[in-house]
Structure 1
Amino acid sequence: MSNPQDPSPPELPPQDAAATGVPVEVEADDGLGQKRAKRTFWQKFGGEGFMASVAIHVLLILIAAFLIISVSKESAKKDPNSFATGSGGGAAGDKAKQFKTRLQPKNPKTTAKTPTRITSKSTTATIALPDVPTVAVSSMNAGLMGGGSSKGFGGGSGGGIGSGMGVGRGNGKNFVSVFGSKMAVNGLPGTFYDFKQNKSGKPTPMMGGAPEKFGDPSNSAAIGLYNKEVNEFLDKGFSTSSLADVFRAPDTLLASQIFIPPCPATEAPKAYGVGELCKPSRWIAHYKGAVKPPQNGKFRFVGSGDDFLLVRWDRKVVLDSGYQHFISGNTNVYPGFGQKPYDETRPSKLGKPLRCGPWINATRDKETPLEIVIGETPGGTFYAIVLIEVADASGKPDGQLRLFRMTTDDLPDAIKNGHPSIPGVDMTGGDWIFKPVKASVSR
């Protein structure tokens, strides 16, 4: 126990350093009785030597950069159009002789060829390519002496020839054929059949002796057989099963209208992509689908075809017109519409007037089957025109011929403004544009 009157603090017993838990830094003994100071991490890493190496490398880089820049400036002072040989020594001294080779300007007259006029050697040719534009020699000389030359010389010229090939190809703006289009979305699907060949492409008796020649006597028997086959097809209700062995074009065209002005009969097989396979005679194109009338009212089909045109509405033939008549005959009597002959016609400049069919009662948006058949028998010229005429409130014709249209798509260029052979036709269709019912079409 300590003395309470003694002001000095009590003595504490000595403590073991290990027991206190306080770390003690001990200096290493060098073995001679002297203690050595502890080295830092930078010294252990060799930092002094590293910094010296970096300084030396930086100095070398600066020296190399200086030498490169000096050599580049010295080379730039030399003539860029000269070069030195690789030989060393010689009579000229320590440096090799320098042989200067300069670019020699070309004579403009040797590069400029005299432009020639290219024309056809044919005595019947009506087209000549325009002259190649001439170039002044002085302007060429200035360009060549200005520091370089070019291997190329010349100019360009060109132009279009003609306004189109064939019916329906127009001026290169609209390539939709008047027979229909493969690219269309809506319309009446059409199929081309060539009776002169079977489905394998082999000739049939309807080929005749000269299928490409109009009026050739060797085709008479073939024409008789063709008319018989077409008549059988129509008598069976336009059944395509009767055409199972007839050559069929692989492409199907969608037609927005049937308005084909006079043209060579070769245009039909061309439009269907078989122009190289089919001669321009004894073929038909069969358009089949369904449409919806745009409104209630009475209308009738008006038209003609060379050689024939038939329209079948709601499974009844309502127009049979052209140079051949398979259903109505010369009396123009239509089965299903009584025995009354429909003798009314409308004038045209086609060689024959346009026939008028029986009146039809239309119901707005009623889906109605529709088929149109056009055909060519002996070859030569072909046309097919399908129009409509609407009755007014009194039941009489309103006096306006309208194009029978099934879409509002742009018309082919060849018929945008109608045709002089059938004047006075409203090509817009007015408010009587029928709506085609979409159907699956094999392409």
Structure 2
Amino acid sequence: MSDTPPALPPEEPAAPPPLDETLVEGVEDDGLGQKRAKRTFWQKFGGEGFMASVAIHVLLILIAAFLIISVSKESAKKDPNSFTTGSGGGAAGDRAKQFKTRLQPKNPKTTAKTPTRITSKSTTATISLPDVPTVAVSSMNAGLMGGGSSKGFGGGSGGGIGSGMGVGRGNGKNFVSLFGAKMGAAGMVGTFYDLKQTSNKAPTECAPQSGIGAYREAVKEFFQSGWSPGKFQKYYRAPEALIAGQVFIPSRGADAAPKAYGVEKEVKPSRWVVHYKATVEVPQSLPFRFVGSGDDWMVVRWDRKIALDDGYEHMVVGADGNYKDFKQVVTKEFAIDRKPGHLNRLKAGPWINSPKGTKIPIEIAIGETPGGVFDVYLAIEVARSGSRVNGNFEGEGTLKLFRTNAEQLPEEIQKPGRGLNIDMEAEGWIFKTVPTGVTR
């Protein structure tokens, strides 16, 4: 027997220890048999790049804000309409005084030429007329002599200077003048007629300077017809009417009416007529009477009766003041400065006794005959009581503006001056308009 020990079977290699599961969760197969670390959701989303982009944008916004603030501070300028006297001292202490500069309008009285008047020496004459001016009315300052006070609507241009006196028209918005407004508040509806041309703009018998007589005849035919608009149908009429809350227009050029109605390019400032009409409600039961005058003329019709006729011309009643419709003869006058005209008075009409709440039709016609200077004033005087003294009512002695609405008055007439003692607000005595056709 051999001493050599028997050969042992070969040993199988020992199996490697199992891998820790916590170590293999973060790896994945890349498809090529290689293992790589598993990416998180934030990494898959591209979070690192997103945060970098946000940081860059925030930085850009901060830079832009800084630039905008810097430019704004540098571009801020001082008010160009003021100037300073220097800092320190004076009544203002350490701060500089600031004075607002404003262009002051000229006084219309200094620019309007006073026309001479032709006055008949006959004792039976009832009218006196101004001469035709030797210079065109357009040579007057358009803003100072324009058609009323402009309130500056829209982007329209206004004649005049300073606070905007004169005619001003907006881009399709409301237009307000002393002759009335295009829209808005209730009031009397005024229609403008030019008797020098037909509705087709052909000259009429009133067109030449010798046509003044024909103009007067046409106006009187209108009154004799019962104030029928049909009598003016053949003449030129402004395309748009104006709504007026009062008829109170201090002295200005006769071209103010065509300008107010927007027809100054079609109408020369002479031999025109404006016809206002409305139905109003009597505000109080006390007797009252109309007081006023027109250059060249004004006629008031109350309840289809002539209640006032005065001016350089008298179209219906005459200078004797015999109001046949009311069976009264009236001579009462009120003083007023009507420069550059010289008819320095307003005439009173007959007393009217209409109960409170009564609805009455009223019509007012005003006109300019030869051209030149124009004005018109209409007010009322109220009786002290409803009782007569020596067969007649006794007036208060002061006037109230005749008004048909309570809208704010144009600035130009809020303080009329001219030596006239008149209450422009007329509180309690506003004749409010009612729908047409509603009468007693």
Shorter-chain TM-score bucket reads 0.5 to 0.7
Q: Any idea what the Cα deviations from partners look like across 1:252-279, whole Å, max 9, x if unmatched?
A: 1111111100011111111111112111
Contact 1:168 1:413 in 2 (8 A): no
1:53–1:60 Cα change, 3 Å: farther
Q: Any idea what the Cα deviations from partners look like across 1:313-341, whole Å, max 9, x if unmatched?
A: 00001100000001111222123122x43
Match in the other structure for 2:200: 200
1:426–1:60 Cα change, 3 Å: closer
Contact 1:312 1:318 in 2 (8 A): yes
The one of 364, 381, 399 equivalent to 1:401 is: 399
Alpha-carbon distance in structure 2 between the residues aligned to 1:273 and 1:48:
91
Identity %: 39
Higher mean alpha-carbon deviation, 302-311 vs 197-206, is at 197-206
RMSD of Structure 2 on Structure 1 (CA): 3.6
1:414–1:61 Cα change, 3 Å: same
1:176–1:64 Cα change, 3 Å: closer
Q: Any idea what the Cα deviations from partners look like across 1:381-435, whole Å, max 9, x if unmatched?
A: 0001001011112420111111111111100111011232x52111111321111
Q: Where in structure 2 are the equivalents of 1:244-393 lying within 5 Å?
A: 244-338=233-327, 340-350=328-338, 351-352=342-343, 353-393=345-385
TM-score normalised per structure 2: 0.61
Alpha-carbon distance in structure 2 between the residues aligned to 1:306 and 1:365:
33
Q: Any idea what the Cα deviations from partners look like across 1:139-162, whole Å, max 9, x if unmatched?
A: xxxxxxxxxxxxxxxxxxx98756
Does residue 1:434 correspond to 2:431, yes or no? yes
Give unpaired runs (5+ residues) of structure 1. 1-46, 77-128, 134-157, 209-218
Aligned residue identity for 2:414:
K
Aligned residue pairs total: 301
Contact 2:290 2:380 in 1 (8 A): yes
Alpha-carbon distance in structure 2 between the residues aligned to 1:60 and 1:272:
79
Alpha-carbon distance in structure 2 between the residues aligned to 1:391 and 1:385:
20
TM-score normalised per structure 1: 0.61
Q: Any idea what the Cα deviations from partners look like across 1:271-291, whole Å, max 9, x if unmatched?
A: 111112111000010001110
Looking at CA atoms only, which structure, 1 or 2, has the larger radius of gyration?
1
1:280–1:159 Cα change, 3 Å: farther
Aligned residue identity for 1:323:
Y
Alpha-carbon distance in structure 1 between the residues aligned to 2:420 and 2:262:
31
Contact 1:327 1:334 in 2 (8 A): no
Partner of 1:224, secondary structure, is helix
Contact 2:147 2:179 in 1 (8 A): no
Q: Give 1:167 shift.
A: 4.2
Aligned residue identity for 1:415:
I
Match in the other structure for 2:109: none
Match in the other structure for 2:184: 184
Q: Give 1:56 shift.
A: 7.1
Aligned residue identity for 1:193:
Y
Give unpaired runs (5+ residues) of structure 2. 1-27, 60-79, 85-99, 106-142, 151-162, 169-174, 388-392
1:61–1:316 Cα change, 3 Å: same
Match in the other structure for 1:425: 422
Alpha-carbon distance in structure 2 between the residues aligned to 1:290 and 1:169:
26
Contact 1:386 1:404 in 2 (8 A): yes
